Homo-oligomer: A and B are copies of this chain.
Amino acid sequence: MGRRSDRRRVLRLRDGVATARPDTLAVEEPLEIRVRSPGGAGAARFVTTMRTPGHDEELVAGLLFAEGILTARDELAALERPADPRIEAELRANVLVASLAPQALARAQGLQRSTVMGSACGVCGRTEIGRVLTEGTRPLDSALSVSGELLHALPARLRESQSVFARTGGLHGAGLFDASGRLLELREDIGRHNAVDKLVGAHWLAGKLPLSECLLLVSGRAGFEIVQKAFFAGIPVLASVSAPSSLAVELAEAAGITLVGFLRERRFNVYAHSRRISAP
């Protein structure tokens, strides 16, 4: 696993007093994702994303799953670092090659080529929601029920386990909890979306989706794409310590997801499907 934090000398000013001291930073490095057919020679770059090293395989699986490129587990034949000995180790650590089944590879290529269009196309919130809830997709109907007291306890549990955040203040966390409020898994990353992709990717790789009896807590805001990732993973309750966006609320409503925001200081708001929050 790559370094997740880095030490630097910084100048600290506090009430006008300057001191030079070491500081710990969250590491940010690019990760290049390439796709190819199994045994194929040339790999094409799919995307380069800035991320905190660590759990890279999970990040790639989660990202390709969230983009709708990977569906069934057997569509991913392999996830490997480039074998070419001409590549320096430092560069190799920032590249992952995904070997995809033909239909998944075609989806990846289609996504990259879909740039030319008729002038009558357009996008809006409804369009985006329609891309997530395609025909035949059903909203989540998990009967999971959680109490307000259980929700109040989650942020502290996430923070206690966020070891790198504690030292850098620079990483987002995504925590998966069971119905009793136990933290099952935590991922951290400089990018909010990456932390969720790593978490979902880990379970997708292990064949453990959908997560119908779980809660997801994210340390930042809940935008449209975070709700989309929760939906694809089958997670019925999504909580954020901060604000959701308008479109996140609309998607949560349509997707059957209980969306909780501003979960802090013994309060929270429920923006969609409050039926899963049991009365005190």
Which residues of chain A have a CB within 8 Å of any CB of chain B? 5-6, 8, 10-18, 23, 25-32, 34, 41-46, 48, 50, 82, 84, 86-88, 90-95, 112, 114-117, 119-120, 122-125, 127-128, 148-149, 168-170, 190, 221, 223-225, 242-249, 262, 266-271, 274, 277, 279-280
Contacts and interface: CB of A to CB of B under 8 A. Distances in A.
A223 to B, nearest CB: 6
Contacts of A17: 280
Contact of A28 (B32, B114, B246): B246
A157 to B, nearest CB: 18
A80 B274 CA distance: 42
21 contacts: A8-B249, A12-B269, A12-B270, A13-B148, A13-B267, A26-B245, A26-B246, A28-B247, A30-B125, A30-B127, A34-B117, A41-B119, A45-B116, A48-B123, A50-B225, A82-B122, A88-B122, A94-B124, A112-B115, A169-B242, A170-B221
Contact of A14 (B115, B125, B266): B266
Copies in the complex: 2
B27 A246 contact: yes
A95 to B, nearest CB: 5
Nearest to A269: B10
A148 B15 CA distance: 9
B280 A16 contact: yes
B190 A245 contact: yes
A46 to B, nearest CB: 7
Nearest to A34: B117
Q: In the A-B complex, list the 5 residue pairs whose CB atoms are closest, starting with the nearest.
A: A91-B122, A170-B243, A28-B245, A16-B280, A11-B270
Given A16-B148, A26-B246, 13 more contacts: A11-B269, A13-B148, A15-B266, A23-B271, A26-B243, A28-B224, A43-B117, A45-B116, A45-B117, A50-B225, A50-B247, A82-B122, A86-B120
B170 A30 contact: no
